[in-house]
Structure formats: structure tokens, C-alpha cells
Amino acid sequence: MKRTLIAPVLAAGGAAWAQMTPVGIWNSFDAKTGETKAEVRLTETDGVVSGRIEKLLRKGADQAARCHDCDGDRKNQPVIGLEIVGGARKVVGKDVWVGGKSVDPENGHEYALRLTPIEGGRKLEVRGSFAFNDRTQTWVRVP
């Protein structure tokens, strides 16, 4: 009897621990309207987190939209599939990932990046910094 109670508790604890990472699928939101904007998949390869837009979720969104204001390799690329997060690495001893860049496909601006899972990993604070301008969005994990 005790074994059956311990296993679910360990499994639940393991699931919670596994969620304290930015890796996963997230819904991003419009800062002005609160409307769901996009679904973003964050992955980790060799300790580096990157992420691409998988779906545009805003009502009436142009699914063929391109990043006209982006620079370099992103210039005029389709927004769906566009890498908007890259280069973030975990801070030793903390549930925070820094050192990368994020791109806003609506205006092409690039920001220094900080990712912090919150609320047991159910949400992700995505902080972008450019010069003296900071903005933080809270993304919600897709179950």
C-alpha cells in the first residue's frame, strides 16, 4: 500500500521539477490587448535555448506574414518558423536563462534576453532589454 502512495508523489514531484525550464510550447500575448498572439516552441541544444514561432493565434492574423523589419537572415522570412529566441544559457544554481537575444517580429527590434520560469513552470517571464528600455512579457505554457 505504501508503495502505491509513494510512486505518484515522486512522479508528481518529478513533473514539477521538469517544468522549471523554458523548454516547451508557450503562448505569447499582446501587451496592449492581452490577446493571445502566437505559439512559440522553445528547445535546448547543448545547453543553449532557442525558440521559433509555430502558430499565429491572434484573430485575423496573416498566416503568411513575413518579418519585413527584421535584419540579416531574418529579413523578409515567414513569421511562422522564425527563430525569435536564441543563445540563452542557464545561470548556474538558478532557474534563469540569460545571454541570448530575442526578436520582435512585429518591428524587427532585437533585445538582450532573460527567461525565468515562474509559478512552478506554468508561466515564463520573458524579459527583453535594449539600451535603457526593458519590457517583460509573461508567457503561459501550453499543456
Q: Domain containing 29 — which CATH number?
A: 2.40.128.520
Rg of the chain on CA atoms, in Å: 17
Q: Where are the alpha helices (DSSP H) in the chain?
A: 2-19
Instruction: Kindly indicate the confidence band of residue 131, based on its pLDDT and cuts at 50, 70 and 90.
Output: confident
Output the CA torsion 37→104→120→47 (10° steps): 130
Q: Is 29 a domain residue?
A: yes
pLDDT grade for 15, boundaries at 50, 70 and 90: very low
Nearest alpha carbon to residue 65 among 108, 126, 1, 18? 108
* 82 band by pLDDT with thresholds 50, 70 and 90: very high
Average pLDDT over residues 22-27: 97
Count of structural domains within the chain: 1
Domain that holds residue 98: 21-141
In a domain, residue 102? The reply is yes
- In a domain? residue 11: no
